[in-house]
């Protein structure tokens, strides 16, 4: 299997993760300015690597789930279904659910992309990627995973998955992004959370209408029908024979489907 295209940059000079340095409090004016330049560099690299890969559907989920687990297989089948629908599958690029979704896309000759993160303990990049861009800053990575997507699929996961789910939900709720569909899968795992969200509505902490922003199902067919109804039809998405041209002299790269 061909290795993915990888876009990365020189690691930070400090042994501390970039996010830790950024969030540790006020520093000298020069250090703050230098940090700003590094954040800009992360965004610029992400823009160049991902501008021509879409339209995408982002799949969130745990890195700890192993192949053979029912949720791994569900994510794998969902990745394939998303790719057949014409979308690029984009994930955090790691193992577990991310690997499963990317793998499903590759197995049906779809487009598969990862946006990984620099961590103190190295997280391996999965091998089912056509392109991979590595970020230093978590908030840059989260922004990119939202920016290029027309739908979000949330599989079982931990704190990071919850963060990504509620980030997308809050952006939609507050009108910062369009009303893109959020599909929660693995309902046996998420049932307490779904009940809690209903409780939030009952207690008037969120509007009753906000409940419609989330669609929970374990059916691939129902999930794909929801994405088609809420993403493809409202935004007029259609397959194009000739995608937009990338300019290599600007650091841009197109991405073709596998054959």
Residue 7 maps to a domain: no
pLDDT given at position 3? 55
Residue 96 maps to a domain: yes
- Which residue reads 């029908």 in tokens? 225
| Structural domain of 163 | 17-235
Q: Within its chain, how far is the Cα of 3 from the centroid?
A: 20
Residue 86 maps to a domain: yes
Domain count, the chain: 1
| Omega within 30 of 0 (cis) for the link into 55 | yes
Residue 208 maps to a domain: yes
- Which residue reads 């994930």 in tokens? 91
Please say whether the dihedral angle defined by the alpha carbons of residues 70, 74, 80 and 83, taken in this order, is positive or negative: negative
Residue 71 maps to a domain: yes
Residue 76 maps to a domain: yes
For β-strands 88-91 and 112-117, DSSP reports them as parallel
- 218 vs 114: CA distance, rounded Å: 24
Q: Which of 149, 94, 147, 101 lies closest to 117, judged by CA?
A: 94
- Please list the pLDDT of the chain residue by residue as tens digits (259 residues): 555 666 654 444 444 678 888 888 888 999 999 999 999 999 999 999 999 888 999 999 999 999 999 999 999 999 999 999 999 999 999 999 999 999 999 999 999 999 999 877 767 899 999 999 999 999 999 999 999 999 999 999 999 999 999 999 999 999 999 999 999 999 999 999 999 999 999 999 999 999 999 999 999 999 999 999 999 988 888 766 556 676 776 666 677 655 4
pLDDT given at position 9? 47
- Residue 241: φ, ψ to 5°: -75, -30
Helix (H) or strand (E) segment spanning residue 172: helix 159-173
Residue 139 maps to a domain: yes
Residue 247 maps to a domain: no
Instruction: Output the domain CATH number for residue 129.
Output: 3.40.50.450
Q: What share of the chain is helix, strand, coil (3-state, %, to 5)?
A: 45, 15, 40
pLDDT given at position 25? 87
- 74 vs 146: CA distance, rounded Å: 22
pTM of whole model > 0.85?
yes
- Measured between its terminal Cα atoms, the distance across the chain in Å is 13
């Amino acid at each position: 299997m061909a290795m993915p295209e990888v876009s990365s940059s020189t690691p930070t000079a400090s042994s501390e993760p970039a996010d830790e340095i950024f969030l540790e409090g006020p520093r000298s004016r020069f250090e703050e300015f230098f940090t700003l330049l590094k954040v800009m560099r992360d965004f610029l690299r992400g823009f160049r690597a991902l501008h021509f890969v879409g339209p995408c559907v982002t799949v969130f989920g745990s890195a700890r789930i192993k192949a053979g687990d029912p949720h791994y297989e569900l994510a794998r089948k969902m990745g394939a279904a998303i790719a057949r629908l014409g979308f690029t599958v984009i994930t955090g690029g790691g193992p577990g659910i991310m690997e499963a979704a990317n793998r499903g896309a590759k197995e049906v000759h779809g487009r598969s992309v990862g946006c990984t993160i620099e961590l103190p303990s190295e997280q391996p990049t999965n091998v089912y990627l056509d392109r991979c861009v590595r970020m230093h800053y978590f908030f840059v990575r989260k922004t990119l995973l939202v920016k290029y997507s027309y739908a979000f699929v949330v599989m079982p996961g931990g704190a990071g998955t919850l963060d990504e789910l509620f980030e997308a939900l809050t952006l939609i709720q507050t009108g910062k992004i369009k009303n893109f569909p959020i599909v929660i899968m693995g309902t046996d795992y998420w049932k307490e959370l779904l009940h809690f969200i209903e409780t939030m509505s009952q207690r008037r902490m969120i509007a009753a209408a906000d409940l419609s922003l989330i669609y929970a199902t374990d059916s691939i067919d129902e999930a794909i029908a929801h994405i088609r109804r809420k993403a493809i039809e409202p935004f007029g998405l259609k397959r194009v024979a000739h995608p937009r041209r990338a300019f290599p002299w600007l650091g841009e790269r197109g991405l073709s489907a596998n054959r």
